[in-house]
Chains A and B, each alone.
Chain A
Amino acid sequence: MIQESASRRSLERTKRIWAYLFLIVPVIFYVSIRFYPTLQAFFLSLTNWDIVSKDKEFIGLTNYRNLFKDEVFWKTLGNTGKYVIYGLPTSLLLGFIIAYNIDRVKRGSEIFKAVYFIPYITSMVAIAWVWRWLYQPAPIGVFNKILIAVGLPQQKFLFSQTQAIFSILATTIWADVGFQMIIFLAGIKQISRQYYEAAEIDGANNRNLLFRITLPLLKPTIVFLIVTGTIRYLRIFTQVLNMTYQGEGGPLNSTKPLVLYIYRSAFQQFDMGYAAAMTVILFLIILAITLVQLRVMRSED
């Protein structure tokens, strides 16, 4: 008996040692490639480091103070807000409409799922260039040629200060809607048939079922999609770099998102400290959104 418990204890000890062995390299990785760089970003945001000079001079909150005076920063922050506020609701609504209908299609739902989903996993660089071509003025761009063919006026699309951001958003939503659809479909499938059957017995029509059962029960799914979507739209970068002239986020910064400004400041102006300050602000925005999500989810239970 004593021997047995001793051997069990030694087995537990061996298992513990193995567990630590399994975790040594990963813990070193996460500390040095995730946590240390995060702290370093905070530190760099308080310096005027420009990559060329060896030492990083501590300048306190100067970068943040300059940011508040920087018109381009506010412009890009505003553009980022536009991407989120116009893009995400449209993509969510479309994703839901598509999912709702695919769920009720008798045959061919697998094909529809594939068709709607495939842009989501395609390279954004490739997508951006295909759409950039579609948006060109006639006689090159396909959209404008179609507009002319049906007797409508040409549009400037990417070359217009007002239309460019919405043109980029159309591409983004096109690429994004499949993700929303798949998650909505999974959420819809989880709702028990019994709710619908009971409601139908009470004489509810399709409309009642949608607004009284489907949508309320999808609330956790919707919260999840809003949070992940907000973060995705806040981080828009690749499509703007590839769809605008020289990747500048033009015309006249009208499409430039915050992340593109960060990239330009850091890796073209080599204003590393200034760019780091912007990444800290982006981080704080994302952190706030995540905390709100946790709050909402918790109050659900």
Chain B
Amino acid sequence: MKTKISSFIQIRVILLAVIGIFMLFPFVWMLATSFKQGADVYNLSIFPQNPSLANYKRLLSRSIFPWWFMNSIIVGFSVTASVLFFDSLVGFALSKYNFRGKKVVFLMILSTMMIPTEMLVIPWYLMANNLHWVDTYWGVMFPGMMSGFGTFLMRQFFMGIPDDLLDAGRIDGLNEFRIWWKIGMPLVRPALSALAIFSFIGNWNAFMWPLIVSNKVKMFTLPVGLSFFNGEFQSQWEMVMTGASVATIPVFIIFLLFQRQIIQGIALTGVKG
């Protein structure tokens, strides 16, 4: 009986491992190839014959890649900071205060989650064009400065903190802004970090809008640049793989550092019920 159970578990582990290898295979291939040179690129072996960083050096020195990387960093951090600030402020206002129109504002923000981005990009482009925001950081960033999802998430978390704690601050004479900042925000730190990670990764990977609003090569974000660069370098697959590696490695690092928060955060969005 006992051997039967353990052998069954073994089969499960083997099944998961086999599919798991298939899941990792494209990444392994991508990274391996980024260290390969010349004819070795097309060898059916994951181990480079003479592993070298030459492709990375070439990518960083002879293309505008570092610039795209920096653009993505600037956009990612700015939008994330804005999302954290505004979504938590609105979430706080919608959970801790009573005022006329509260429900309307909440439903309004919630309903924006149903509007597909594809429908908005044409009017956004029209707006960016009229206001001369095309080919600026602000042009890439403005549609994402706040998010319905983040507001909903923060509201849920703020509803869980007791009003007494806030009242204690009022007795100490803090104004409402400082109560939010000094008392409310530290209490929802786990939600803030989950939102920060999602927002940053989402912006890091965003493709359609940055593609539309950037015409100058210098203003591309990393995914747009990668797509453009790959079109140019199509016959040099080792360079394409190196570019893809540069775009994915930061996400791998973030994932390794925050694996638990990321997985819990995703699960949280799915079982809200």
Q: Which residues of A approach B to under 8 Å, CB–CB?
A: 11-12, 14-16, 18-20, 22-23, 25-27, 29-30, 33-38, 40-41, 44, 51, 98, 101-102, 104-106, 108, 110, 112-119, 121-127, 129-131, 133-134, 139-140, 142, 145-146, 149, 174, 179, 182-183, 185-187, 190, 220-221, 224-225, 231, 235, 237-238, 241-242, 246, 259, 262-263, 266-267, 272, 275-276, 279-280, 282-283, 286-287, 290
Q: Are B16 and A130 in contact (CB under 8 A)?
A: no
Q: How far is the CA of A142 from the CA of B20 in the complex (A)?
A: 18
Complex CA gap A145/B29 in Å reads: 14
Nearest chain A CB to B114's CB is how many angstroms away? Answer: 6
Inter-chain contact B223/A123, CB cutoff 8 Å = yes
Answer yes or no: B3 CB below 8 A from chain A CBs: no
Determine whether the beta carbon of B23 is less than 8 Å from that of A119: yes
Select one of B118, B146, B208, B255 contacting A279, CB under 8 A.
B118
- Scoring B residues 116 to 138 as 1 if CB is less than 8 Å from chain A, else 0, what string do you get? 11111111111101000000000
B15: which A residues are within 8 A, CB to CB?
101
Select B143's contact among A33, A113, A125, beta carbons within 8 Å.
A33
- The reply to whether B204 and A123 contact each other, CB–CB distance below 8 Å, is yes
Is there contact, CB below 8 Å, between A112 and B270?
no
Determine how close the nearest CB of chain A comes to the CB of B195; give it in whole angstroms: 15
A117-B262, A125-B244, A130-B30 given; 8 more Cβ-contact pairs under 8 Å: A106-B9, A116-B19, A123-B207, A130-B244, A186-B267, A231-B116, A262-B118, A263-B208
Bound form: Cα–Cα A238–B267 in Å:
25
Q: Known A14-B176, A134-B26, A287-B114; judge A139-B42 contact (CB<8 A).
A: yes
Whether the pair B271, A130 counts as a contact (CB closer than 8 A) is: no
- Is the C-beta of B183 less than 8 angstroms from some C-beta in chain A? no
CB atoms of A183 and B267 under 8 A apart: yes
**A105 near B12 (CB under 8 angstroms)?**
yes
Between-chain CB contacts (< 8 Å), 11 pairs: A30-B108, A33-B145, A115-B20, A119-B26, A121-B262, A123-B244, A129-B243, A145-B44, A186-B270, A272-B126, A283-B116
Q: Is the CB of B145 within 8 A of A182?
A: no
B116 touches A286 (CB 8 A): yes
The minimal Cβ–Cβ distance linking A170 to chain B, given in whole angstroms, is: 10
A115 and B125 CA atoms in complex are apart in Å by 38
Chain A hits for B266, CB < 8 A: 117, 179, 182-183
B47 at the binding interface (Cβ < 8 Å): no
- Minimal Cβ-Cβ distance residue in B for A39: B123
Which chain B positions have C-beta within 8 A of A98? 16, 19
A279 touches B116 (CB 8 A): yes
A23:B90 contact, CB within 8 angstroms: yes
Given B30, B93, B237, which contacts A19 in the complex, CB threshold below 8 Å?
A: B93
A16 contacts B98, C-beta separation under 8 Å: yes
Within the complex, what minimum Cβ distance (angstroms) separates B24 from chain A? 6
Q: Is the interface of A mostly helix, strand, loop or mixed?
A: helix
Could you count the A-B residue pairs with CB atoms below 8 Å apart for me: how many are there? 248
Set A18, A123, A221: member contacting B177, Cβ < 8 A: A18
Cβ contact within 8 Å between A122 and B118 = no
Please determine whether A41 and B105 come into contact, CB atoms closer than 8 angstroms.
no
Assess whether B115 is interfacial by the CB under 8 Å rule: yes
- Checking A14, A30, A124 against B112 with a beta-carbon cut-off of 8 angstroms, the contacting residue is A30
- Expressed in whole angstroms, the minimum distance between the Cβ of B111 and any Cβ of chain A is 9
A44 pairs with B244, CB closer than 8 A? no
Q: Are B267 and A133 in contact (CB under 8 A)?
A: no
Task: Determine if B23 and A266 form an interchain contact, defined as CB atoms under 8 angstroms apart.
Answer: no
Please, what's the 1-or-0 string for B36-49, where 1 marks a CB less than 8 Å from any CB in chain A? 00000010100000
Is there contact, CB below 8 Å, between A101 and B226?
A: no
CB–CB B116/A113 < 8 A: no
**Residue numbers in B under 8 Å from A145 (CB-CB):** 44
* Alpha-carbon separation in the docked complex, A25 to B89 (Å): 11
- Give which listed residue, B120, B175, B222, B262, contacts A34 with CB less than 8 A: B120
| Most A CB within 10 A of own CB, among B109, B129, B180, B252 | B109
Given A23-B90, A117-B263, A133-B241, A272:B114 Cβ within 8 A: no
A185: which B residues are within 8 A, CB to CB?
A: 267
- For A267, list chain B residues within 8 Å (CB): 125, 212
Give the residue name and chain of the A residue nearest to B100 (CB): A16
Q: How far apart sit A118 and B20, CA to CA, in the bound complex (Å)?
A: 11
CB-nearest residue of chain B to A109: B16
Question: Is there an interface contact between B127 and A37, defined as CB atoms closer than 8 Å?
Answer: yes
Q: Whole-angstrom distance between the alpha carbons of A220 and B247 in the complex?
A: 36
Contact B9–A125 (Cβ < 8 Å): no
Choose one: A26, A44, A133, A238; the contact of B146 (CB below 8 Å).
A26
The listed residue with most B CB atoms (<10 A of its CB), out of A123, A142, A266, A282, is A123
Interface residues as binary, B195-229 with A (CB distance below 8 Å gives 1, 0 otherwise) = 00000010011011000100000000011101100
B23 in contact with A33 (CB, 8 Å): no
Q: Are B115 and A131 in contact (CB under 8 A)?
A: no
Residue of A nearest to B31 (CB): A130
Partner of A22, one of B92, B114, B115, B226: B92
CB B167 to nearest CB in A, in angstroms, measures 10
